[in-house]
Amino acid sequence: MSGVDGFFNFFKGFFVTGKLPFKPKVTVQYPEVKRPKPERFHGRHVLNRYEDGMEKCIGCELCAGVCPARCIYVRGADNPPDAPVSPGERYGFVYEINFLRCIHCDMCVEACPTEAITESKMFEWSFVSRQDAIYTKAELVVDDEGNPRQLPWEDWKPGDERNTSAWMRATSPAGVAAKEGQPLWSGELGYGVRPAQAGQSDPAAADHAAPFDKAVRELAGNALRGIGVEGSAPRGIENAPQKPKHQKGNKK
């Protein structure tokens, strides 16, 4: 390599650096802007209520039994006959979740027979003491409007309280094909019954996920097509437009 070549290579190397400031920025300015969450994201739990204000939790302790991290503590009590808390025979008298043990696996949501516990989309939070991490029923139960209670160490943005998890389970709950497309959800305070999640039988209809998710799936599909495994591309991307191969910079 002669000296002249080395001199030009110097500028060639800096050309890569120099053109980057003019490219679109990928940084999410987190405290001000939040990345959109996937549809089935698992965030902080909420305890739901019916439209008439009654609590859905019946104190059956199935969530506590199924929890792999043993982070839920429930104690049921008989409903007072004059002022019942839940429509069932019993209600959740004590309900505590230790969020420093919870791994957000959503198994409590799957186990719950009354759809009382669901998970919101809020995942931006931190504690300065262990006591703050143990949420009691007063903090978990939604308020009269159906909105989760927002605590000072949590960063709620609009949309985080919508689309809490487990609502997609409402479609074909036990795998019965005849129930597909029928939301069997009993409705949540303030929100009502949401439509069933699309795309359980028709993969093409499922392609309304968060934008970055879609992009990742397209990329993965293109990569799979490139190595010649046509049939094994992820579902729902069969009709995705294939980008022409990027040729710039490959010249010898």
Partner 1 sequence: MGLENLQHNFLTGTLEGMVKWARASSSWAANFGLACCAIEMMAAGAANFDLARFGMEVFRASPRQADVMIVAGRVSQKMAPVLRQVYDQMMEPKWVISMGVCASTGGMFNNYAIVQGVDQIVPVDVYAPGCPPGPETLIHSILTLHQKIRLGEITRRTADGTGAGIHLDAATLRRPARVSLSAPAAS
Which helix (H) or strand (E) segment holds residue 223: the answer is: helix 211-226
Establish if 16 lies at the interface with partner 1 (CB under 8 A).
no
Taking a C-beta distance cutoff of 8 angstroms, is the pair 106, 67 a contact? no
Pick between residue 93 and residue 99 the one whose CB is nearest to partner 1.
99
CB 151, min distance to partner 1, A: 12
CA pair distance 135, 146, nearest whole angstrom: 18
Which of 145, 161, 131, 152 has its CA nearest to residue 44?
161
Establish if 101 lies at the interface with partner 1 (CB under 8 A).
yes
Q: Taking contact as CB under 8 A, which single stretch among the options 56-64, 120-128, 173-181, 195-203 is the one that binds partner 1?
A: 120-128
Pick between residue 96 and residue 124 the one whose CB is nearest to partner 1.
124
Window 144-163: contact mask with partner 1 (x via CB under 8 A): ---------x-x--------
Counting Cβ atoms within 10 Å, is residue 243 exposed (0-12), middle (13-18) or buried (19+)? exposed
* Among 36, 90, 98, 209, contact with partner 1 (rule: CB under 8 A): 98
* Among 2, 17, 126, 250, contact with partner 1 (rule: CB under 8 A): 126
CB 46, min distance to partner 1, A: 15
Establish if 219 lies at the interface with partner 1 (CB under 8 A).
no
Window 42-81: contact mask with partner 1 (x via CB under 8 A): --------------------------xxx-----------
CB 123, min distance to partner 1, A: 6
Provide the CB-side half-sphere exposure for 30 (13 A, CA).
4
* Number of neighbouring beta carbons within 10 Å of residue 249: 6
CA pair distance 65, 73, nearest whole angstrom: 9
Establish if 29 lies at the interface with partner 1 (CB under 8 A).
yes
Establish if 223 lies at the interface with partner 1 (CB under 8 A).
no
Establish if 123 lies at the interface with partner 1 (CB under 8 A).
yes
Q: What is the DSSP letter of 140?
A: H
Distance spanning both ends of the chain, measured CA to CA? 16
User: What radius of gyration, in Å, describes the C-alpha atoms of the chain?
Assistant: 25
CA pair distance 248, 234, nearest whole angstrom: 28
Establish if 100 lies at the interface with partner 1 (CB under 8 A).
yes
Residues 6+ apart with CB under 8 A from 200: 168, 171, 172, 180, 181, 206
Q: How many residues bind partner 1 (CB under 8 A)?
A: 30
Subset of residues 176 to 195 that bind partner 1, contact rule: CB under 8 A: none
Q: Interface with partner 1 by CB under 8 A: which residues?
A: 26-31, 34-35, 68-70, 98-105, 123-130, 133, 153, 155
